[in-house]
Amino acid sequence: MEIVEINRQNLSDINKANQPFEIIGKIIPIFVDGIWSYTEEIYEHHTMKSYPVENRDYAAYINNPDKAVFLAYYGAECVGQIILKRDWNRYAFIEDICVAKSTRGQGIGTDLIQKAIEWAKKSNLKGLALETQDNNIPACRFYAKCGFVIGAVNTMLYRNFDNGEFAVFWYLPF
């Protein structure tokens, strides 16, 4: 497996790893004495969910000191990506991270997080931050395993979509 920064030659590989994932339940965030934790509610019936491909000018990330995209490859196949930007609060915000379904659980996500940490430190940033939904338990478990902690929960962000999802903001301070 190899992780490379986006360039004009691999620009078309963006979002190839953006594939459906299983909704198995949701986390229940708990805020006590200034510290977030969570429990899990596992659903009896599981469903599949896909994130839409965002319409961004990914060419603007090439050689940009404030943005970066790293792609993970097995041979010629793009199996993962992480999209980052320098945020106003001196964190590197992970705009997207995904791993192809066929290669999940093989350490690619962890390697992408490590690449993000390297980029953030090189950029003199103070940590990583991201947002995911409370019903993406596999992602929440992954972020916790990588050392991220919940910093906030936004119950209104997805309210207009009538899907009952809450936004959970995760942070990995350095």
Output the tens digit of pLDDT for each of the chain's 174 residues.
Answer: 999 999 999 999 999 999 999 999 999 999 999 999 999 999 999 999 998 888 899 999 999 999 999 999 999 999 999 999 999 999 999 999 999 999 999 999 999 999 999 999 999 999 999 999 999 999 999 999 999 999 999 999 999 988 899 999 999 999
H helix count then E strand count, the chain: 2, 9
CA dist 53 and 159 (Å) reads 21
Neighbours of 84 (CB within 10 A): 27
CA dist 81 and 18 (Å) reads 8
Strand-strand pairing, 77-86 and 67-74: antiparallel
pTM: 0.95
